[in-house]
Structure 1
Amino acid sequence: RGLPGWGEQLAPLDTVINTYGGRWFDQSWNATLNTPQWKDAVSFYVNLIKTAGEPGAGNAGFTECLNAYNNGKVAMWYDATVGASNFTGDAAKNSGYAFAPTKVKDWSGWLWAWSLGMPSSSKKKDAAWTFANWATSKDYIKLVGSKLGWAHVPPGTRTSTYSLPEYQAAAGGFAKVTLDSIAHADVTHATVDQVPYIGIQYVDIDEFQQLGDQVSQEFAKVIAGTQTVDQALVKAQALATAVGKNYQH
């Protein structure tokens, strides 16, 4: 992904940074972006996009990358395991699945979820609970499988799904990789060195959405060729330093 955004380009890039030994903040909330680990990771990611990435990579997020892969425009895609359940045509038939390579850390995955919630102000709590209960049930899984195809069942939502013969037959190529990826994702030990926050491809603080977006914009300029990695990291360091001060006591 090259599209700017904390949940777009920066998400997979963060997993690369982690496995290169980088982190956002040290234990004292000092920003650690302008470091050799970040420089090596960002340089690797940007160079990979420039030399082997899809055309218009700077505007490609999850959806654009998925479409490019499904349409046979790219041969390899590094992204979330959920992507496999969205493959169609030849992409669904001919794809192999593997874990991402690592540098100095043993694992490079991430963890994310789309969840159902109920506002405390809801006037229809019973109806909301009934829907949430149904939409996460075994019956729902079977309904999706029978109507849309077993490979398109929402992955990672129920352990029991992975023991269904129908699912194993349709999703056998990526089912085990998905389960193993979830099992190895550790939001409390995502980095080589200790950190004061939790999160793998994000920092679990209120300011991160804005901080991540701003840092991602700087890396987008590197992808576009309008500034260097060093210049981007100087700016990113300053942005993160300002946020880190909010947590220093």
Structure 2
Amino acid sequence: MGSMKSVSTAVGAGLCVMALAACGAAGGGGGGGDGSKNVTLTLATVNNGQMKDMEKLKGTFEKAHPGVTVNFQVMEEGDLRSTVTADVANAAGQYDIVTVGSYEVPQWGANGWLTDLTEPLSDAAYDVDDLLPPVRQMLTVDDKQYAVPFYGESSLLMYNKDILDAAGVSLSDRPTWQEVADVARAVNSSDTAGICLRGKPGWGDMFAPLTTVVQTFGGNWYDMDWNAQVNSPEFVEAVTFYTDLLADAGEADPVSYSFNECLTALKNGKVAMWYDASVAASMLEADDSPVKGKIGYSHAPVVKTEEAGWLWSWNLAVPKNSKNKDMAVEFVKWATSKEYHNLVGEELGWSLVPPGARTSTYENPKYQEAAAAFAPITLEVINSVDPTHPGVNPQPWVGVQYVTIPEFQDVGNQVSQLVADAIAGRSTVQEALDKGQEIAQRGGDAQK
């Protein structure tokens, strides 16, 4: 995503309002604590497989740093966002290290909530230039880097080749959404859903994939003048397509499904296809996966655009008010280093090395062999995404599956709940999006 130099002081002020924060408290030092013999680092992170692997391997860091203990606080995605936002905005200092998305980093960095990592990352051993440029750029404001990617991702269509073969159907490497819908309905049965799609409310849950569907159908959240477009014909058509596909060939009770639920369903043969984050491929191809070697991978489905994948990274950052800032930075560097990638490969399996972060990972013969099924297409789709213009029409922000304004967390969450009601049959799509238009417009008006 570009350098985000357009993030302004107004955005910082808006973030304070959105997080119920006292901005005046956000600029403190918080660098103490590292001089004591025993240091406990508290790390807030999301409940994803890659982060659980980091927790398994933290002993290597602790052994190399006697007296240091790293405590992981693992949360579901929505809980992590709300908890960490409140903590860093209020300069509470509860966490020394936070897992934060590419949506938040440029805004929080511009607002002075995160430690500038540019100088600590500059030593030759770390090799910051090895980080994938599109992902690194998302974390930079005015040439200052405020977080480091733990893993980066786009989105892929993943499918069980055996199920499709048995039904006599196939998918191309660059399918259209209509092609996907036809296959999903063809293979759908009482035992196996045709496709799994996120229906759980949340701007980072349901709307991660759904926004990319909206964009390739020709819609988007706002136009260039920040007029909301949530009940535009294109937005309505895309959401109607999504909800109809779930009704005809999706998993049961889709409003309870997000990333982890769909991952489990595909692993267990309960669904034939799944459109979601490319990082899932490393888990599907892990040595203990029951579908290892049975999954095919395609580009994100399209309608009116050439590509439709998202661009995202989960990153490690150090809040400005961390009580153990120096040691926290050391851990962040270790957990995103070439050394760590090699450790994951040797201890847990090369297919589990965090993807989408370092160029050298894709040049490693051991990773190339273990991740042959998905590494090339993952790198290809990440480098194919244009976060400045992902849809049919231009947009006044940089980002694919989110809008980089502080109000979007609330807007996306509220609209997703309305869409979840439509998925569950409690309202129509048009009714949901007419209400969503009013909510979205309030966010747009704040940018005018």
TM range (shorter): over 0.9
Structure 2 residue 395 is the aligned partner of structure 1 residue 218 = no
Structure 2 residue 446 is the aligned partner of structure 1 residue 242 = no
Match of 2:241 among 39, 44, 50: 44
User: Which has the larger helix fraction?
Assistant: 1
Corresponding position of 1:185: 385
Per the TM alignment, residue 29 of structure 1 is displaced from its structure 2 partner at its CA by: 0.9
Q: Which residue type is aligned with residue 40 of structure 1?
A: E
How far, CA to CA, are the matches of 2:289 and 2:335 in structure 1? 27
Per the TM alignment, residue 238 of structure 1 is displaced from its structure 2 partner at its CA by: 0.9
How far, CA to CA, are the matches of 2:281 and 2:445 in structure 1? 40
How far, CA to CA, are the matches of 1:237 and 1:119 in structure 2? 35
Map 1:1-249 → 2, pairs under 5 A: 1-87=198-284, 88-248=288-448
Q: Which residue type is aligned with residue 10 of structure 1?
A: F
RMSD: 1.2
Per the TM alignment, residue 199 of structure 1 is displaced from its structure 2 partner at its CA by: 1.2
Deviation beyond 6 Å, 4+ runs, structure 1: none
User: Structure 1: 5+ residue runs without aligned partners?
Assistant: none
How far, CA to CA, are the matches of 2:273 and 2:360 in structure 1? 30
Q: Which residue type is aligned with residue 188 of structure 1?
A: T
TM-score (norm 2): 0.54
How far, CA to CA, are the matches of 1:166 and 1:35 in structure 2? 48
TM-score (norm 1): 0.96
Higher Rg of the two aligned structures: 2
How far, CA to CA, are the matches of 2:421 and 2:318 in structure 1? 39
Q: Which residue type is aligned with residue 101 of structure 1?
A: P
For 1:63-93, what per-residue CA distance to the aligned partner results, in whole angstroms no more than 9, with x for missing partners? 1111111111111110010111122423222
How far, CA to CA, are the matches of 1:83 and 1:185 in structure 2? 18
The total of aligned residue pairs comes to 248
- SS of match in other structure, 1:79: strand
For 1:189-240, what per-residue CA distance to the aligned partner results, in whole angstroms no more than 9, with x for missing partners? 1221111122100100001111001000111011101111111111111111
Identity among equivalent pairs (%): 50
Per the TM alignment, residue 96 of structure 1 is displaced from its structure 2 partner at its CA by: 0.9
Per the TM alignment, residue 52 of structure 1 is displaced from its structure 2 partner at its CA by: 1.1
How far, CA to CA, are the matches of 1:188 and 1:86 in structure 2? 30
User: Which has the larger strand fraction?
Assistant: 2
- SS of match in other structure, 2:205: coil
User: Structure 2: 5+ residue runs without aligned partners?
Assistant: 1-197
How far, CA to CA, are the matches of 1:101 and 1:11 in structure 2? 14
Per the TM alignment, residue 186 of structure 1 is displaced from its structure 2 partner at its CA by: 2.0
For 1:135-193, what per-residue CA distance to the aligned partner results, in whole angstroms no more than 9, with x for missing partners? 11111111101111111111111111011111111111100111011111222112211
- SS of match in other structure, 2:293: helix
How far, CA to CA, are the matches of 1:167 and 1:217 in structure 2? 40
- SS of match in other structure, 2:315: coil
Q: Which residue type is aligned with residue 106 of structure 1?
A: E
Per the TM alignment, residue 54 of structure 1 is displaced from its structure 2 partner at its CA by: 1.1
Choose between structure 1 and 2 for higher RCO, CA contacts under 8 A separated by at least 6 residues.
1
8 A contact 2:350–2:370 mirrored in 1: yes
8 A contact 2:283–2:289 mirrored in 1: no
Corresponding position of 2:179: none
